[in-house]
Amino acid sequence: MADCDSDMTAAQPAKSTAVGIVRNVTDQLTCPVCYQLYKNPRYLSCYHSYCEECLVKIQTETTITCPECRKVTKLHERGIKELQNNFFIARLVDELAFNKKVKENSPHCDQCVRDKPVEVFCFDCVLFLCGYCHGHHQYDKLCYNHNIIPLSEIPDDIVLQPKPSTLQCREHENELKYYCETCKELVCLYCTTKKHSTHKHDTINKLISKHRERLNKVFDPVDGMIGDLVKERQRINTMLEESEAQNQKTITLIDDYYENMYKKLQLQRDLLKKKLNDALQQSTKIFQTCLEQINCIQAQFESILELNNSLSDASSQEVLLVENEMITRMNELSEQYNVWRSKPVDPSDVRFVPNEDISFPQFGQVFAVSNCSPYNSEITNFPRYALVGGHIGFIVVVKDCHGYLCYSEGSDQIVVGVKSTRGEKISVPQLTDNHDGTYTGAFVVQQVGKVTASVTIKGHHVKGSPHEITVGKDYTTFSQVNKVVKLGHPWGIAFGKQGTWAFTDCTNSCVYVFSSDHLMRTFSGSGETKLYNPCGIVFDNDNHLYVADCCNHTVKKFDIYGNCLLHFSSDMQHFDNPLGIAIHDDKVYVTSNGCLMVFDTDGQFCHTIGSGILSTTPYDVVVSCNNCLLVADCGHNCVFTFTLDGKYIRKFGAQESEGTSNGQLKGPHGITVDNNSFVLVVDYNHCVSIFDQDGSYRGSFGSYGSGDGQLKYPHGIAVSPDGSVFVSDYSNKRILIFSSK
């Protein structure tokens, strides 16, 4: 407690109304947009500051482009309010206001309680003194040699700093005198004994030296980096001058060549000059773009360096408030600097090649010479998903170091490959030269799983490479269709462990349990646990069955022998006709009237998902391979996608017009996902529609009828471990099993 008491004593606010002096600050306090003193200044991500009102004027919907360095700052939910306040500039503005007040209204003496006018200011003690206290002050042994000046003689370019206000804990209203290194935040004494009691923390006075040293160490290389940028700008300016000189020589060469030609050649000469001028403008634009990039990086370095230098006058709390953000920004700038260093600007020139055959109507060519760059080249049109045996196309766009299409020197350096996850080469893409700097490629994959396609130039990957593609099974063709015929109307289908699978019969209110193709048992519960119109069904990790008991408004849990282990009643959870059910990570997801209800596996209610988005008839739900919830919404004729915590992502399959166009669902009832993330949906189009995880339509199979492979109002669907597709053919009162090739 002794240490705490001493810290608290040391931190008591001084009685002085001023604690320091800053010279010539006015230039630093003018907003570059409104040219007025800053009002509530805020940082952009480049660390240039502007008034909050000015930022409102120049912002777009989600971004702000810095008027000085053109760096784009992305805004979040609260917009400009989430940008960091520039408390350094705000403090200087306060200092100017304080100084003006001092000069207009003489302050009170800091040494006594007499109501006497202040006559002098002691720069060493930072005190305002009346005449009486001035006399005692100058004869004090400790103060006789202090720098004291009459108040009327303080120069206008000197600004007296007001004592900065101390930061206080929002929760306890105590001064923030401690720093928690575990949480990276300022805390008060009471916080250290409660929320942060087990964390690593200490007083600011003890920690500030280490953190200042850490901050300074990060900024040590900045001067060298700025020096490199200055040298590179000079080098590019020299290359620009040489390029212009070379262009002048080329013009002279062209003029000399055509001086011996007749007037009929003048049109050709003017055309060549125009092409040369276009090439010069392109070359100049390239160098100017490089210079703008250098200026942008340098401006950002200088901005953050200036801010870091200003920290020498900042309070400890202020340093700690911006330390992590500044270090993060410094790391981003260093990475940007390193990327710039890795892409040196190549000199380019313009050449004239005469054609000695004067009978040919074209007498020469003007063209730019440059090398292709893997860093600017890119691969486009690569899909994320494809089906076995399907055509996978892509385009390679080759560019030079300046970002322009580069045709003549890139084709023989492009290497394209397709490999499996084990690194085996599984396909040889065909590449077609389009003779314009682009190349069209295509390949076919004959195996299910993930493959990696890559495109390299000079041994380096281009943008978009390597690219992973998920290849799914082609469900549109089958070797055979088997049938499981039972009375009643089958609805939900589910697969468990060790070859077990089950389906619900809503008409007979029972569950059928199979082992492979052998019927093990049928059960319907008894007493309070008796089933009444069961619909959705799912196995958990213990091979127990959860059944959505629609007309009883409950969910029941059974073992595979038909013993009821648990049921959630509508009286407790307010179910309304539960239809679909899924389990993931000890959570049970149940479709109900207008929402998706979430429970733990013991039947305790957690929360709802999709209220206000889903219709009154969401029929089925499944958890995808990338941990998203897919809901087959019969009322909206589409599939909705949510995160596991309920955030809406997208919808797909919605009908845009009457009819049954490919990929447009009609009353979807059942939904499942295979091992390669492809989504299979059954609906009242009497077929199975296939989508990838992005919602793109990939095909369908099945048609209306009662024959082999035909469906009539299918309700449920599931994919077995061996890849067969099980569909509950509701109106035909059977289960169809589609075995793929």
Instruction: Output 625 or 24, whichever has higher pLDDT.
Output: 625
Q: Residues 551-604: pLDDT tens digits?
A: 888 999 999 999 999 988 655 556 778 999 999 988 999 998 889 999 998 888
- List Cβ neighbours of 350 (8 Å cut-off, separation of 6 or more): 243, 246, 247, 250, 276, 279, 280, 283, 366, 367, 368
At 269-286, the pLDDT tens digits run 778 888 888 877 877 887
**Helical residues (DSSP H) of 493-601, grouped into ranges:** 570-573
pLDDT for 115: 73
CB-based contact 203:210 (threshold 8 Å): no
E strands present in 467-552: 467-472, 478-485, 490-495, 500-505, 510-515, 518-523, 534-539, 545-549
Does the pLDDT value for residue 459 go beyond 80?
yes
User: pLDDT digits over 129-149, tens only?
Assistant: 888 888 888 888 778 788 888
pLDDT at 534: 94
Q: Look up the pTM and report it.
A: 0.52
Write out 489-500 in H/E/C secondary structure: CEEEEEECCCCE
Secondary structure in 3-state letters for 294-347? HHHHHHHHHHHHHHHHHHHHCCHHHHHHHHHHHHHHHHHHHHHHHHHHCCCCCC
Of 398, 397, 408, whose CA–CA distance to 368 is shortest? 408
Please tell me whether the peptide bond between 466 and the residue prior to it is cis, using omega within 30 degrees of 0.
yes
Assess contact for 323 and 215: CB atoms under 8 A. Answer: yes
Q: What is the pLDDT of residue 100?
A: 66
**In this structure, what token pair is assigned to residue 81?**
């309010």
- DSSP 8-state class, residue 184: T
3-state DSSP assignment of residue 362: coil
In sequence order, which ranges of 347-484 are alpha helices (DSSP H)?
Answer: none
Q: At what angle do helices 266-310 and 316-341 cross, to 10 degrees?
A: 150
Cα 63–chain centre separation: 14
pLDDT digits (tens, 9 = 90+) for 346-400: 666 666 766 665 554 455 555 455 677 888 889 988 888 888 888 888 999 888 8
C-beta separation of 505 from 511 below 8 A:
yes
Reported as a pLDDT band with limits 50, 70 and 90, residue 13 is: very low
* pLDDT at position 184: 86
Which pLDDT belongs to residue 159? 57
Answer yes or no: are the C-beta atoms of 371 and 409 closer than 8 Å: yes
Q: Can you give the length of the chain in residues?
A: 741
| 3-class state of residue 680 by DSSP | strand
Q: Are 662 and 675 in contact (CB under 8 A)?
A: no
* Greatest extent of the chain over all pairs of C-alpha atoms, in Å: 115
Q: How many CB atoms lie within 10 A of CB 741?
A: 11
Contact status, residue 51 vs residue 34, Cβ threshold 8 Å: yes
Which pLDDT tens digit goes with each residue over 227-240?
999 998 898 898 88
pLDDT grade for 10, boundaries at 50, 70 and 90 = very low
β-pairing verdict for 545-549 and 534-539: antiparallel
The two tokens of residue 170 are: 């929002």
Would you state the pLDDT for residue 23? 45
**Is residue 677 scored above 50 in pLDDT?**
yes
In whole angstroms, how far apart are CA 82 and each of 44, 78, 243, 430, 659?
A: 10, 6, 47, 50, 48
Pair type for strands 545-549 and 554-558: antiparallel
**Tokens, residue 461:** 């990957």
Average pLDDT over residues 626-638: 93
Dihedral sign computed on CA atoms, order 188, 192, 196, 201: positive
Q: Are residues 50 and 33 in contact, defined by beta-carbon separation less than 8 angstroms?
A: yes
Higher pLDDT pick, 116 / 438: 438
Q: Which residues contact 590 (CB under 8 A, 6 or more apart)?
A: 536, 548, 555, 575, 578, 580, 581, 596, 597, 598, 599, 621
Strand partners, 628: 643
Q: Which long-range contacts (CB under 8 A, 24 or more apart) does 275-283 make?
A: 275/366, 276/247, 276/250, 276/251, 276/350, 276/352, 276/366, 279/350, 279/366, 279/367, 279/368, 280/243, 280/244, 280/247, 280/350, 282/368, 282/404, 283/243, 283/247, 283/348, 283/349, 283/350, 283/368
The answer to whether 96 and 29 have CB atoms below 8 angstroms apart is: yes
Taking Cα atoms as reference points, which of 735, 692, 307, 286 lies closest to residue 492? 735
SS3 state at 620: strand
State residue 1's pLDDT score: 37
SS3 content of the chain, % helix, strand, coil (to 5): 25, 35, 40
Burial class (CB in 10 A: 0-12, 13-18, 19+), 170: exposed
- The dihedral over CA atoms of 512, 517, 520, 526, expressed in degrees to the nearest 10, equals 0
Give the tens place of pLDDT for each residue, 710-739: 899 999 999 998 888 999 999 999 999 888
| % residues pLDDT > 90 (the chain) | 22
Distance between start and end Cα atoms, the chain: 78
Q: How confident is the model at residue 80 (pLDDT cuts 50, 70, 90)?
A: confident
**Tokens describing residue 474:** 């082609």
The pLDDT assigned to 412 comes to 65
Structure confidence at residue 12 (pLDDT): 31
